[in-house]
A and B are shown apart, each in its own frame.
Chain A
Amino acid sequence: MTQLLPPIGAVLPELVLAISAIVLILIGAVRGEGSANLVTGLAIAVLAAVGVLVLLQPAVEVTAFNGSLVVDAYSRFMKLLAVLGAVVSLIMAVDWQAREKQAKFEYAVLVVIATLGMCMLISAGDLIALYLGLELMSLSLYVVAAINRDSIRSTEAGLKYFVLGALSSGMLLYGASFIYGFTGSVNFLQIAAVAKEPSFGLIFGIVFLLAGLCFKVSAVPFHMWTPDVYEGAPTPVTAFFASAPKVAAMAIFVRVVIEAFPHVTHQWQQIVAFVSLASMVLGAFAAIGQRNIKRLLAYSSIGHMGFALVGLAAGTPEGVRGVLLYMSIYVVMTLGTFACVLTMRRKGQAVETIEDLSGLARRNPVMALALGALMFSLAGIPPLAGFLAKYYVFVAAIQAGLYGLAVVGVLASVVGAFYYLRVVKIMYFDEPVDDFDPMPTELKAVLAVSGLFTIFYFVYPAPLIEAAGAAARSLF
């Protein structure tokens, strides 16, 4: 059975997602505006089911469609993470949509389609599949950024993201065509077989390809869209942006450079190292100037992508494992933080500046404690999860001899600690302002899980480390 129809078994999650998306559109179209809750609920169920399907996939490496899609431990790990981000951010959107009277069934459908794109992206085995997955994901994202079409900020965010995304896609395609031209293949493994020696044309292509990917992970200097889109897009959308697509883009980033260009490592390493360094530094410095918590988190995510790329710059299995661990911990921390941001709502009106958190410790000590733990973790304070995440990538970088990168990374995290700790200071030492509206149950649950994971991860990190290690090894 598996021998006869390997592609079906391998692409089952993607198939389920695609069919579900069509079904959900039909339901929405037939039942009209009132179907938003039903569609969203179904979408959540579908995503959860897809997560289970991914988990149940065999651990062996399977290719489908003539090598265009690869299913291995790596893709399983990253798909799970991306689906987790998608499903949690969708859950967090339910209450928000109700309160903002923005209940639209299209949102859930678009998230499902975007997730389909991510899964294809993560499994991509050649440049064509990469582009298809990337565009499927991106087009959905452009629309969800502007989902609140009555809001100028939201539409502006969507438009900006679209124009710049189109530019980056163009660059990516341009680079892909160069690579094809110089290697005669679009398949990663065949490219690797041909590209034994670095040539200028190949490097040219890699630069453009990586520029496109850097845009998706919002790494400096292709990050400019991030703060504006994060701020402008509706908050649940921002939470979604900050989690799932980042995972998918980082996944393909890693897969491309490791699988397709193992013999020009030294060259792409320079690009990754620079991008990572610039992201860490800019993320740390620029966030200090922010008052809006969504903008602050935008810069924070830029910085975190920089830290994750430190692991990739090492170019070793340990480094890739570091990236995977970093992304896992990052996604959990980010979702928890956004659960708090979504709670920042006074008399039905969302508030977004960090001063609105003043004295939270006195009004809502549990939330303040959880958010405080997340902030300490994002800052990288031992023994919280965020510290260990940084630890993995820095150790990998040092083992690979990238001392300068590690030192700058540590310094940047010191600078970055300032704005995270400022949030803690505001919560604990400033005079309280009015209460927030009550926190919906699902947000409480997300925040609790995220906070507990962050605080207690160090107690039993082995399962995650082993899974990430297995995933990383499957690339080499």
Chain B
Amino acid sequence: MYQAIVFFPLLGFLIAGFFGRTIGARASEVVTTSLLFIACFLAWIAFFSVGFGDHDTRVHVMQWIHVGDLKVDWAFRVDTMTVIMLIVVTTVSSLVHLYSIGYMHEDPSRPRFFAYLSLFTFAMLMLVTADNLLQLFFGWEGVGLASYLLIGFWYEKPSANAAAMKAFVVNRVGDFGFMLGIFAIFVMTGSIAFEEVFAAAPSLAGKTIPFLGHHWDAPTVIALLLFVGAMGKSAQFLLHTWLPDAMEGPTPVSALIHAATMVTAGVFMVARMSPIFELSQTALNVVMLIGATTAMFAATVALVQNDIKKVIAYSTCSQLGYMFVAMGAGAYSIGVFHLVTHACFKALLFLCAGSVINAMHHEQDMRNMGGLAKKIPFTYVMMLIGTLAITGFPFLAGYYSKDAIIESAWASKNYFALYGWVMTVAAAALTSFYSWRLIFLTFHGHPHDHHHYEAAHESPKVMTIPLGVLGVGSVIAGFALYNVFVGEGVHDFFRHSIFMGAENHILHEIHEIPLWAKYLPTLMMVLGFVIAYWFYIVDRTVPAALAKSQDALYQFLLNKWYFDELYDRIFVKPALWIGRLLWKRGDGTIIDGFGPNGVSARVLDVTRGVVRLQTGYLYHYAFVMLIGVAAFITWFMFAGV
């Protein structure tokens, strides 16, 4: 069964990828989508069987690498963490496949698109079923590749190519840290198989790694290196710049990869590696700090963006920050809880945005929209549900998971606990504001582009059905899963798939926080809504006036804290400069000049000289002969006989 779950998407990829042209676009769509739905169905069976039936297992696929001390098998580690990710990935992926049939119906390269989608799904499943770090890394790079291919799917667009490369390059930075982390684990424990690494983890406490004449605490170094990898993949503060640009890809891709699944791989990895993170409070402090900063930073940027997808992208970034706050607090199950609910409502929001874009004929600027609620009522209702869920409206998905994170930040003993709490609470208000701003600008008010407005129409069934399914998920996921992720059922549900140290009682402590702190996030949500309502429904002149009066701040946010410009100055320009130097001077002038080109030029010079000797005059020839004899005689006269 597990083989089927993992390999059906691969099969779909192979069929659509290699025979897509032969069998045609429609067949490619049908094959990949049906295979995904089968995998999804099996994943749900697995979820109930493992999650509630205690059927943890290890599925051996094949022996992979046996070199010296390094023994790596290809196997599926099936435990609660795995099955949670399985259902998230396969469900969202199958819905996105279905949705794409409608969304991409005008695109000539649909077989390629569906092949990539299935390839991504396979890689993501490899990642979540990994039994060892190498396999995890394989999936990690595989999703990176698929992400690259899909961001640059419309390769005729230079901006899409640039975004694809940016995603790849920024992720390399994280991957480098991740690789170093894997190496460090192998050095310290002699294995990269999870079973053995986790068994050896307690003995790592107090050990050190010597580097540059200093002995560094081993668990801290390993955890931080791994976290660098997670930061890259999950677009955390400093390594986040690729995610907004990744919106160049088709919208279903944004929903699947850049909202629901791939970007949460970092969160998954930290939760998976919890036995190591638990050993280092320093690492957890850093995780909390980065997570909280990201949550706040991304929310502020989202306030002023005008591109509908960019808003949701920054929102994703911010929500990922929330998840890392939970990780930093040691509440791994809560972070994963938010991962699941977020997958629901964020995929919903993206797919709704796709529906809006579809209705508006690929218009993405919210300032040109407005009043669409009447035109596309179903999309409107679904987007409303998504918004209510993300802002934490009571009893919807986000209400349970996000509030649990904020509570865990309050209750945590983390050094940055207070900072994390303040940031997440403030970000909750901002989240509410930008989410409602999106709704009001898009669906309410007066249409700004009558031509597009008149032509706007509701999307076809293949697109609205996935919206409906995700809408239901966004409503019920919270209270359905609360008990097993946050409440009393956590221990029985997760068992050994996450590890919490003996001192870690966070799951109990969050129930003992003061009442005002418990209700503050909800209050914040209301506050954000009220301000948004005032700004965009009651008096639409206020935002412009505010932007004018606070121009510096507005520009700062609009330009995303100038991160791109900063990185351009610090990294890109010098790198290009060095590259150009090595290219023009190093390779061109020095290597080519003295190497191939130089040699061949000298050869031609010599040739020219030699050929010039051949004058055709007899006396020159005779002269050369005599010179030759004279030279020999002279040589023997002076060198001695």
- Decide: B624 and A221 in contact? CB cutoff 8 A: yes
Of A199, A207, A415, the residue contacting B632 (CB under 8 A) is A207
**Interface residues of A, CB < 8 Å — how many?**
35
- The 8 A CB mask of A191-231 against B (1 = contact, 0 = none) is 00000001110011001100100110000111011011000
Given that A221-B627, A285-B607 are known contacts, is A198 also in contact with B614, CB under 8 Å in the complex? no
| Inter-chain contacts of A227 with B (CB < 8 A) | 614
Interface stretch of the complex, out of A36-44, A109-117, A159-167, A443-451: A159-167
- Decide: B611 and A163 in contact? CB cutoff 8 A: no
| Inter-chain contacts of A349 with B (CB < 8 A) | none
Q: Closest CB of chain A to B328's CB: distance in Å?
A: 64
Give chain B's interface residue range (CB within 8 Å of chain A): 20 to 34
- Decide: A164 and B618 in contact? CB cutoff 8 A: yes
| Inter-chain contacts of A415 with B (CB < 8 A) | 603
**Distance of A250 Cα from B637 Cα, bound (Å):** 27
| Inter-chain contacts of B455 with A (CB < 8 A) | none
- Decide: A160 and B636 in contact? CB cutoff 8 A: no
**Distance of A95 Cα from B466 Cα, bound (Å):** 86
- Decide: A222 and B628 in contact? CB cutoff 8 A: yes
Q: Would you call A25 an interface residue if the criterion is a C-beta within 8 Å of the partner chain's C-beta atoms?
A: no
Q: Would you call B610 an interface residue if the criterion is a C-beta within 8 Å of the partner chain's C-beta atoms?
A: yes
Q: Would you call A288 an interface residue if the criterion is a C-beta within 8 Å of the partner chain's C-beta atoms?
A: yes
| Inter-chain contacts of A238 with B (CB < 8 A) | none
Q: Would you call A267 an interface residue if the criterion is a C-beta within 8 Å of the partner chain's C-beta atoms?
A: yes
**Distance of A285 Cα from B601 Cα, bound (Å):** 12
Q: Closest CB of chain A to B217's CB: distance in Å?
A: 57
- Decide: A199 and B616 in contact? CB cutoff 8 A: no
- Decide: A285 and B610 in contact? CB cutoff 8 A: yes
Q: Closest CB of chain A to B637's CB: distance in Å?
A: 8
CB-based nearest B residue for A156: B616
Question: Which residue, B624, B627, B639, has most C-beta atoms of chain A within 10 A?
Answer: B624
Q: Would you call A171 an interface residue if the criterion is a C-beta within 8 Å of the partner chain's C-beta atoms?
A: yes
Which residues of chain B from 494 to 546 have a CB within 8 Å of any chain A CB? none
- Decide: A286 and B636 in contact? CB cutoff 8 A: no
- The 8 A CB mask of B95-123 against A (1 = contact, 0 = none) is 00000000000000000000000000000
| Inter-chain contacts of A160 with B (CB < 8 A) | 618, 621
Of A200, A207, A285, the residue contacting B606 (CB under 8 A) is A285
| Inter-chain contacts of B621 with A (CB < 8 A) | 160, 164, 224-225
- The 8 A CB mask of A149-187 against B (1 = contact, 0 = none) is 000000000001001100110010000000000000000
Q: Would you call A289 an interface residue if the criterion is a C-beta within 8 Å of the partner chain's C-beta atoms?
A: yes
| Inter-chain contacts of B639 with A (CB < 8 A) | 270
Q: Would you call A282 an interface residue if the criterion is a C-beta within 8 Å of the partner chain's C-beta atoms?
A: yes
Question: Which residue, B604, B608, B618, B632, has most C-beta atoms of chain A within 10 A?
Answer: B632
| Inter-chain contacts of A18 with B (CB < 8 A) | none
CB-based nearest B residue for A208: B629
Q: Closest CB of chain B to A249's CB: distance in Å?
A: 15
- The 8 A CB mask of B191-213 against A (1 = contact, 0 = none) is 00000000000000000000000
- Decide: A207 and B607 in contact? CB cutoff 8 A: no
Q: Would you call A64 an interface residue if the criterion is a C-beta within 8 Å of the partner chain's C-beta atoms?
A: no
Of A163, A200, A290, the residue contacting B636 (CB under 8 A) is A200
Q: Would you call B67 an interface residue if the criterion is a C-beta within 8 Å of the partner chain's C-beta atoms?
A: no
Q: Would you call A271 an interface residue if the criterion is a C-beta within 8 Å of the partner chain's C-beta atoms?
A: yes
- Decide: B614 and A286 in contact? CB cutoff 8 A: yes
Of B611, B628, B631, the residue contacting A286 (CB under 8 A) is B611
| Inter-chain contacts of B637 with A (CB < 8 A) | 200
Q: Closest CB of chain B to A79's CB: distance in Å?
A: 29
Given that A167-B625, A198-B641, A199-B641 are known contacts, is A288 also in contact with B614, CB under 8 Å in the complex? no
CB-based nearest B residue for A159: B618
Which residues of chain B from 572 to 625 have a CB within 8 Å of any chain A CB? 603-604, 606-608, 610-611, 613-614, 616, 618, 620-622, 624-625
- Decide: A221 and B628 in contact? CB cutoff 8 A: yes
Given that A285-B606, A286-B610 are known contacts, is A267 also in contact with B629, CB under 8 Å in the complex? no
- Decide: A289 and B610 in contact? CB cutoff 8 A: yes
**Distance of A167 Cα from B632 Cα, bound (Å):** 17
Given that A163-B618, A286-B614, A289-B607 are known contacts, is A224 also in contact with B641, CB under 8 Å in the complex? no
**Distance of A271 Cα from B633 Cα, bound (Å):** 10
Q: Would you call B556 an interface residue if the criterion is a C-beta within 8 Å of the partner chain's C-beta atoms?
A: no
| Inter-chain contacts of A270 with B (CB < 8 A) | 635-636, 639
Which residues of chain A from 124 to 151 have a CB within 8 Å of any chain B CB? none
| Inter-chain contacts of A221 with B (CB < 8 A) | 624-625, 627-628, 631
- The 8 A CB mask of A396-429 against B (1 = contact, 0 = none) is 0000000000000000000100100000000000
- Decide: A207 and B636 in contact? CB cutoff 8 A: yes
Of A211, A222, A267, A282, the residue contacting B610 (CB under 8 A) is A282
Across the A-B interface, give the 9 residue pairs with the lowest CB-CB distance, nearest first: A221-B628, A224-B621, A286-B610, A289-B611, A289-B607, A288-B607, A207-B632, A285-B606, A198-B641
Q: 5 additional contacts, CB 8 Å, given A163-B622, A168-B625, A282-B610?
A: A164-B625, A167-B625, A207-B633, A214-B628, A227-B614
Q: Can you list 20 residue pairs at the A/B interface with Cβ under 8 Å?
A: A199-B641, A200-B636, A204-B633, A208-B629, A211-B628, A215-B625, A221-B631, A222-B624, A222-B625, A224-B613, A224-B614, A224-B620, A227-B614, A228-B614, A228-B616, A282-B610, A286-B607, A288-B604, A289-B607, A415-B603
